Amino acid sequence: MILSLSSPAISQQNIQRPKLVVGIVVDQMRWDYLYRFYDRYDKDGGFKRMLNNGYSCENTLIPYTPTVTACGHSTIYTGSVPGITGITGNAWWDKEQMRTVYCTEDNSVSTVGSPSSAGQMSPANLLTTTICDELRLATNFQSKVIGISIKDRGGILPAGHSANAAYWYDPSIGKWITSSYYMRTLPTWVSTFNNLNLVDKYFKEGWELLYPANTYIQSTTDDKPYESKPFGAKFPYDLKKFIGKDFSKISATPMGNSFTAEFAKAAILNEQLGSDNNTDFLAVSFSSPDYIGHTFGPNSVESEDGFLRLDKELGSFLNFLDKNIGKEQYTVFLSADHGVAHTPEFMEENKLAAGRVFMNDIVRQLNTSLEEKYKIKKIIVSNHNYQLHLNHPAIDSAKVDLKELTNWIVKYMSGQPGIVNVFALADLNTVPLNNTIRTMLNNGYYPTRSGDIQLILKPNYIDAYSNTGTTHGLWNPYDTHIPLLWYGWGIKEGKTNRETYMTDIAPTIAALLKIQMPNGNVGQVITEVLK
């Protein structure tokens, strides 16, 4: 593809804009990773290049809970919060439908590119526009928008309702797919890319450490008992046994990032993004850091190696943009959808308070006690997103006093180890509570998609499903303090330590592009970033 590099940017009726905006979300990246591994990042890698030649918002925070993938991606691109977008979790209990709803599920569409149901997805559950939608509107739908992520929600929610395409990974076949919401058949270039069978090639290469093992001094020793072991005991990981069999395993390796980056490059070339007089938008989410972090923990050798490799991958991607779009012809921002808590056992072995709360087990026991007391089966129908959801039709039919029942549950849950606060969400604005936490809970509340009773865990206590790995989702800084880097066309060099928020990203892009902000936006323009 040949692009003109002569003009400083697109000029449409004398409005200066970059040729391409690239939004990069690193799934599960704590802000401190920028500096924890800074000395080890490549001088030509992505993180140092963006930190030293771009603008860094050092104190960017997530202003809501729960801090999970779907909420993070939707908030970054809408400038809004779950209480407005309706994306209250990766999944939620829907009070109107009386069932669990996945954030991007859509049974009215079909999979394109696979015989599985993995493509029955769309942005239908997202109630607001994204900045990508607004760009499409501003250019009368002449701008192209494409979303890419291993996770369906990481590609679909950022790209918005009017995107030309969103692509995600189907682990049942090891290929990129989409849904009939966007198109009837895969473009030829996607099929050609899929036929490269890169996943099997990555499996053949295996996962070895990038550098000598004794240089990973920012990590614990390899092979800790509280780490999950999907590949074997410790490095190097021989992945040949997964060739042609278990394509899901690629997601929890750094090669998942390489796979995503290569597909993003192919999209730019084949869709000719940034090649005409309308600004295009590529929304890319790197999902593998989340899979690695959940599996091994943020202090693992695997996580450190993953970020050192991602740094190189980002550097290569920026070089690709320089060559194919042109230096100073594109704008990039990089952020994260959430952070992560340290593995509890890692904290404990270093004399720091932490623990696991096995919420599913507690709820099962609670339902048993409630059935004995009220003669109603499964009064608690869900514990999604650190909230308990009650079976209101059954409670109403039995003529049980809701307030009495709620108080009984609150008292029961208050006695569970690791839970520091429990209260009815109806009392959110009257119970004694830190104002920051209260605001975050309010920002995450959407009536028909949120629960009845809120649970708050002690710091570094996690909602666990096993005795290994870790997770995220709470109000604490390890989950909510995220990186925010800006680079390229229209961006100053520098940094700020003032508080900025995830919701500020979309309106800042809107200001950069001179277009309307998304229709649910509550964020503010970060004026320091813009030239």
Residues 244 and 143 in one domain: yes
Last residue of a domain, one of 412, 434, 459: 459
Residues 367 and 490 in one domain: no
Residues 338 and 195 in one domain: yes
Spatial neighbors of 188 by CB under 8 A, at least 6 apart, are none
Residues 128 and 178 in one domain: yes
pLDDT at residue 2, rounded to an integer: 37
Residues 194 and 292 in one domain: yes
CATH number reported for the structural domain that contains residue 81 in this entry: 3.40.720.10
Residue 292 lies in a domain: yes
Flag whether the pTM goes above 0.85. Answer: yes
Residues 333 and 371 in one domain: no
For residue 131, give Cα distances in angstroms to 99, 155, 282, 461, 506: 30, 14, 11, 35, 6
Range of the domain at 59: 10-346+476-529
Residue type at 226 in one-letter notation: Y
Residue 368 lies in a domain: yes
Residue 207 lies in a domain: yes
273-276 own/partner pairs: CB under 8 Å, 24+ apart: 273/20, 273/144, 273/146, 273/325, 274/3, 274/19, 274/20, 274/324, 274/325, 274/329, 274/330, 275/1, 275/3, 275/19
From the list 289, 265, 282, 281, the residue with the least C-alpha distance to 337 is 289
Question: Among residues 69, 220, 279, 471, which one is catalytic?
Answer: 69
CA angle 160, 162, 163 (to 5 degrees): 70
Residues 166 and 31 in one domain: yes
Cβ atoms 147, 179 nearer than 8 A: no
Last residue of a domain, one of 410, 430, 459: 459
Residues 76 and 95 in one domain: yes
Residue 221: DSSP 8-state: P
CATH number reported for the structural domain that contains residue 451 in this entry: 3.30.1360.150
Residues 267 and 410 in one domain: no
Indicate if 185 belongs to the active site: no
Residues 149 and 68 in one domain: yes
pLDDT at residue 16, rounded to an integer: 95
Name the 3-class secondary structure at 88.
coil
pLDDT at residue 233, rounded to an integer: 86
From the list 480, 482, 481, 475, the residue with the least C-alpha distance to 455 is 475
Residues 435 and 496 in one domain: no
What average pLDDT values come out for the chain (531 residues) when binned by 10 residues? 45 81 98 98 97 98 98 99 98 97 98 98 98 98 98 98 98 98 98 98 98 96 94 94 97 98 98 97 98 98 98 98 97 98 98 98 97 96 98 96 97 96 98 98 98 98 97 98 98 98 99 98 98 96
Q: Can you tell me which residue has the tokens 């990766």?
A: 90
Residue 467 lies in a domain: no
Residue 242 lies in a domain: yes
Residues 272 and 388 in one domain: no
Residue 299 lies in a domain: yes
pLDDT at residue 14, rounded to an integer: 74
Residue 4 lies in a domain: no
Domain count across the chain: 2
* SS3 readout for 240-266: HHHCCCCHHHHHHCCHHHHHHHHHHHH
Name the 3-class secondary structure at 299.
coil
Residue 468 lies in a domain: no
